[in-house]
Each structure stands twice: as C-alpha cells, then as structure tokens.
Amino acid sequence: METTLILLKPDAIQRGLMGPIIGRFEAKGLEIAAAKLMVVPRDLAERHYAEHKGKPFYDGLIRFITSSPVLAMAIRGVSAVAVCRKLIGVTHGAKAEPGTIRGDYGLSGGYNLIHGSDSPESAARELDLWFRPDDIVDYESTQRKWVYDPSDL
C-alpha cells in the first residue's frame, strides 16, 4: 500500500466540490487515511511549494493556497500516487481529459482545484509537512478484498 497527499484547493472548497471529489477517490477504491480542513499558514505554503521559489508564478501560488481553507488528505491504495494523478488529470482544466477531476470541474491552469503528490518520494515529504504521523490512520478496510485481486497486494 502507498499513501499520497491530496489537497483540495481553495477553489474546490469555495465551489462546494469536496463531496464529489472525495467520492471519486472512494469510488475508485482508495482509502482516506487522514483528512483535515484548514487555512494554510504562509510558512507551510512556502515549505510545500519550495521547489517553485523564484519562478514567476510562485507569489500568486502562495497567495492562492493561503486565501481560503483547503482540505488536506492522506489517501492510500496500491500505486496511490499514480492512480490519484490519473484521476486528477493534467494541470490545466481546459486541457484535461473529460472524466478526470480537472477535466470535469476545471477551466483554469492556476485555479486547478487539487494537488496530488507527483512521486512516492514527494508524497513522503509532503505528508510529513501536512500531517503528524499519528494523524494518519492505518486500518484494514473491508473493501480491500472487493477492490484488489489478492495478487495486487
């Protein structure tokens, strides 16, 4: 099992899309291992987006992510990083495939609804920023036997 960070950004929260987006992950068979609604402190935003510091869009990105609450989630499943990225779609909503979260709900590149870790290494780093270890619940979901063939695990 792999765990990844998913952030529902301020535009997703303000547009009332938390339920439909969470439902996509659950319908796929992924498990929510942690969740918290929060206003992002500037220092956390800067640490999260440190790799983009100095880029032209950095200041706007920090302003956006701190402008309104976000829902931070730890989502678990087999190949969770890759599966979540596929569900999310490409960065720009107008270019994202229909059926993806951004393809169905987004039109913008900057207001793109959701963040998902891009690798298992990024997921580990980002999860450490957003959650304490005891925030993430490790449990045996009863749905696993109906989602995964035993050879998947």
Q: Which residues are catalytic?
A: 115
- Indicate yes or no: pTM above 0.85: yes
| Digit-coded pLDDT (tens) for 49-94 | 999 999 999 999 999 999 999 999 999 999 999 999 999 999 999 9
Exposed / middle / buried, residue 147 (Cβ in 10 Å: 0-12, 13-18, 19+)? middle
Segments in the chain forming alpha helices (H)? 10-14, 18-28, 42-48, 58-65, 80-88, 101-105, 120-130, 144-147
Supply the CATH classification number for the domain 2-139.
Answer: 3.30.70.141
Q: Which of 147, 21, 136, 11 is nearest to 75 (CA)?
A: 136
